[in-house]
A and B are shown apart, each in its own frame.
Chain A
């Protein structure tokens, strides 16, 4: 989306200890493959994708994805985590230029 790479996350706010919670994430991004040619100039449009997605909980790595251009535009990921203790999620997306986008979310575990 023009100039704005927006992340969205769907995470429950509370969970019972031992529950497996489902997390959904979506980020707006063209995911330019580097295989397309500009119709006007005839030149190859350079690759520009989100290449890594990381999920940390209280600083610990929970889940991550090494991403290639075959992942669709506006990359979507759904995954799970076992709720053991109250803490904070940190979701990080990193693109080819090394730019990062992040979002945080608290989870209270009863």
Chain B
């Protein structure tokens, strides 16, 4: 009885949210390494009329943390990734650099297109999964855990090489089925609070839920430094957090559901520039 009352009240609060709040940031300032935080939607039938990076919705102080690469704590992980890139690891006696040489050249444009279809495995792979595939098969090195500092350092380092480039995931051919599955998940209500991603991020972006300024839930800045986490974290961690917030049992990191959702989100945010490592609240 108590739970129903609280949910009812909360639902009322969300439905009757406060008036649309004008976003405070100036158009002259931008995160370092990108030239725009607002783009036109990639197609006419897109549910949003314009695409905004999550940076757009944050307070000036949070935005400032992403305007200087030194001030941005996310770079602690990017720099660690740069070290790991050159480090020999595994029985094959190789480092990433042994095959991929200079990451700033070989990895440019790679992160912006992830997740990508793997013809051998007949499924898409996220950056984390691709790294572990390389480690296992080519380096004969043990896999890294999804949310480990090693993995976060490497994913942020690689995706940082695409910073400023437009998100450009391919969802044709065999990827379409996964993108469609992700889309279905995006619009499905779950949890005790019975909400879908769209309830907040499509129907109410720009408004406040309690004291949080709702973004469009775009993924172009991931992996990113979240003030709440006080460290860098993955997109699947954020998915998990969101699901817990609405009192749903979250899917696991690297699960088919989260991979599908990641693909759909990248497709939904196509054209926005990669900002890794972004800074959010």
Residues of A within 8 A of B (CB): 1-4, 6, 8, 10, 24, 26, 28, 30, 72-74, 76
Tell me if B231 and A73 are in contact (CB < 8 A).
yes
B42-82, CB under 8 A of A: which get 1 and which 0?
00000000000000000000000000001101011101100
Q: With A and B bound together, what is the CA distance between A74 and B279 in angstroms?
A: 14
**How far in angstroms is the closest Cβ of chain A from B55?**
19
Nearest A residue to B72 by beta-carbon distance? Answer: A26
Contacting residue for A8 out of B70, B149, B150, CB 8 A: B70
* 9 additional contacts (CB under 8 A) given A8-B75, A8-B79, A26-B70: A1-B77, A2-B149, A4-B149, A6-B79, A28-B76, A30-B230, A73-B230, A74-B76, A76-B71
Given known A-B contacts A1-B149, A73-B230, A73-B231, A6 and B80 have beta carbons under 8 A apart: yes
How many A-B residue pairs have C-beta atoms within 8 angstroms? Tell me: 37
**How far in angstroms is the closest Cβ of chain B from A28?**
4
Tell me if A2 and B150 are in contact (CB < 8 A).
yes
Contacting residue for A6 out of B70, B71, B76, B231, CB 8 A: B76
**How far in angstroms is the closest Cβ of chain B from A57?**
20
Contacting residues, chain B, for A6 (C-beta < 8 A): 76, 79-80
Interface: B27 (CB within 8 A): no
Q: With A and B bound together, what is the CA distance between A88 and B32 in angstroms?
A: 30
Tell me if B230 and A72 are in contact (CB < 8 A).
yes
**How far in angstroms is the closest Cβ of chain B from A101?**
13
10 example contacts (A-B, Cβ-Cβ < 8 A) are as follows A1-B77, A3-B149, A4-B149, A8-B76, A24-B70, A26-B73, A73-B230, A74-B76, A74-B230, A74-B231
Given known A-B contacts A30-B230, A72-B230, A1 and B71 have beta carbons under 8 A apart: no
Q: With A and B bound together, what is the CA distance between A10 and B79 in angstroms?
A: 14
